A = this chain, B = another copy of it.
């Protein structure tokens, strides 16, 4: 059993990242019953990932900072590490698949990172080789206590901002965000229920929790969901957190997420990606399956493809 991130670690992370990430507000929803939103889509890179990356880079020693860090990601984590590296003066190398959207490559380079494009299958090996060769530190997207503690600051802020919360709903991909939020919430207020949400086509976390071991679904299945941020499997570390802390886990369909993207644009004036809408989709479409009372849903990110966003708004 790996050592778990606790409330103290999350509190220390909160001190480290203060002023380097946005202290997102908690938004009441007059259009829904007793629902509040925690919009991490408002982070400068458009996702909560900045919290964990900043907390991890902040804890490097002087030699590690000078040498720099490396990660492999095609998504929000790459931009998070690049942005945090620029803020903290740490050189960043990102290995991205050569099929990555140009807009993501440009954004990552825009934060000053060195981007190395390789075929999808060579991503990990290339990153590992570069790490060794250049003496870099690897910053994983979720499978690390510093990352989990950083993401947990979302949970800390929720309970700081709202006195009486009954349920916190959070999306589950690799499980870093859910692990950190659950650790913070349960550490502060054990009676608050923490519920995970994943796509029906990437519901491997529910299966892993039931089995008590990390289950990997055949790669074709998670590729079916539009929620590209939630396709990843848990790690031993995140499974251990979720096994201990989670009160339940629900699955939502792509249609439910897309409907929620539209609702959040119209009613909450937020641009949200499908993965980012998963938790709110569970509230809007599966309220009866949640514990009763006041709900906070975490909106994990807002990096939606502009064409998809237009289509969703038109439907």
- A contacts, CB < 8 Å to B: 22-31, 39, 41-42, 44-46, 83, 110-111, 265-266, 268-272, 302-303, 306, 309-310, 313-314
Contact = CB atoms under 8 A, between A and B. Distances in A.
A25 B28 contact: no
Contacts of A31: 110
Nearest to A299: B269
Contact of A306 (B27, B270, B303, B313): B313
Contact of A313 (B26, B111, B270, B310): B310
Contacts of A270: 42, 269-271
A30 B50 CA distance: 13
Q: Taking the full assembly, how many copies of this chain does it contain?
A: 2
Given A271-B270, A310-B310, A313-B313, A22 B27 contact: yes
A263 to B, nearest CB: 11
A264 B99 CA distance: 27
A309 B104 CA distance: 24
A118 B30 CA distance: 26
12 contacts: A22-B28, A27-B42, A30-B45, A30-B110, A30-B111, A31-B110, A42-B268, A265-B271, A269-B272, A270-B271, A271-B271, A310-B314
A153 to B, nearest CB: 14
A271 B272 contact: no
A120 B83 CA distance: 51
Contacts of A22: 25-28
Contacts of A44: 27-30
